Amino acid sequence: MLRSSRIRLNVENTLGRFGRDTRGAVAIIFTFALVILIGVAGGAVDYGYAYSQKTRLQSAIDAAAIAAARMQNATQPDRESQALAVFRSNFPEYASVAVNLSIVNDAVHLTALKTHQTSLLKVIGINSVPLHALAEVPLAKSGKAEVVLVLDYSDSMIDADKYIRMREAALKLIDTITDNGKNTNVKFGIVPFAAMVHADLTAGFVRSDVTYNGCTQDRRYPFSSQEVAGTGADASRWGEITSSHSCPDMASRGLKVVPLTSDIASVKSKITAMQPYLWTHIALGADFGWQVLSPTGAFPGATSYSDKETLKVFVLLTDGMQTAPGWGPGNSQTTGDAEANLQSICTGMKSKNIMVFTIGYDLTDTHTIDLLKNCANTGNFYNAADINTGLLAAFSGIAKQVQEKMMRLTK
């Protein structure tokens, strides 16, 4: 019994010594594990903060690049000064950031580098994390756009010389967007509309059962509300006139569609010659406006919808209600059908990422105002303009929005 107790005591003593002897090893292992755990946890904290810094840095660089690109006729030092001012206002820690601006291929290239000092990651030897930001924005004079102005030239535009005010505002918009003609990457088209539209159309877009005299009213439904044209079916083509109004009178007043062109002087000259005639077919004007911008439409010059570098812009102005009937389902022909067609046309254009602006000029009819609001893109795309200075302000606002969109970031 005594011998058994001694053996048990020796075993316990031996195990005890073993336990005491391995404590140092366990401590070492625990220390390494703790370092790794701190590194992992620290990585999450440090990289999370670094990501936040990177996001703020990129936003500040984006704003700075846009501000520098927006300057017209500016030197590179002027652009650098503007970029730095905007960057510093958006990134208070600017002193620790290296910023570089260059002009390459008519675009502002702005880069930023900030070294983020870590805290917990230092325990595993990572003392800093580099943060990079890059922005590239076309110069204001080099952005690409295709703009169609769909302008109401019905008789009511004679009142108080409204068409002259419209002309002045449209010419100002053209000068602003093209930087007074310096930006040759912008094309303009004009669709003057009244009860009819006067346009040069090739045979494939003219009904086979008419002798085309240059003027047309809307197509038969459903093509009166669609982009597709010239499919072979006469219903998809133009040339039908259901009234006795004179096409030569449209021509003598300069009311003829101008397809997209970069010849800005020619566009301005043609707008200057246009004078009002007849009543109002807003949906017909919108239909031809879409055709001018459509790459598969009745007129040449439009780029593909897949060309992400070219902005497509549709601007519609009217001072009155839809007074001309339009073709609807079942050979119906009413003003209500025309209004429904207008909404379908606007929806179709917006689905193609066309910027759709509308202007209600000296307009008080709430129904027509609602039609124009629904036609335009959501946001600040519908403009109400009074008869005095409101039109200049409306066109100026549109020009500013188009310019800003043309300078969208490319990187």
Angle at 264 between CA 261 and CA 267, to 5 degrees: 75
Range with lowest mean pLDDT among 3-7, 160-164, 300-304: 3-7
Contact predicate 259/266, CB 8 Å: no
Q: pLDDT confidence of 409, banded at 50, 70, 90?
A: low
pLDDT digits (tens, 9 = 90+) for 50-77: 888 899 999 999 999 988 988 877 888 9
pLDDT digits (tens, 9 = 90+) for 345-403: 999 999 999 999 999 999 999 999 999 999 999 999 999 999 888 999 999 999 999 98
Q: Tell me the Ramachandran region of residue 331: left when phi exceeds 0, alpha when psi lies from -120 to 50, beta otherwise.
A: left
Contact predicate 207/239, CB 8 Å: yes
- Tell me, letter by letter, the H, E, C secondary structure of 320-356: CCCCCCEECHHHCEEHHHHHHHHHHHHHHHHHCCCEE
Phi, psi of 24 (to 5 degrees): -60, -40
Range with lowest mean pLDDT among 64-68, 71-75, 191-195, 206-210: 71-75
- Domain annotation for the chain: domains and CATH numbers: 21-138 (no CATH), 144-406 (3.40.50.410)
pLDDT digits (tens, 9 = 90+) for 276-296: 998 899 999 999 999 999 999
Structure tokens, 321: 């209600």
Query: d(Cα 374, Cα 50) in Å, to the nearest integer?
Result: 44
What is the average pLDDT value for the chain, to the nearest integer? 87
Q: pLDDT confidence of 343, banded at 50, 70, 90?
A: very high
- Give the model's pLDDT for residue 274: 97
Residue type for position 298: A
Give exposure, 235-272, as e/b (b: 16+ Cβ within 10 Å): ebbbbbbeeebebeebeebbbbbbbbebebeebbebbe
pLDDT digits (tens, 9 = 90+) for 126-145: 778 889 999 998 887 678 99
Q: pLDDT confidence of 39, banded at 50, 70, 90?
A: low
pLDDT above 70: percentage of residues in the chain: 86
Structure tokens, 215: 């003027």
- Give the model's pLDDT for residue 41: 57
Phi, psi of 59 (to 5 degrees): -60, -40
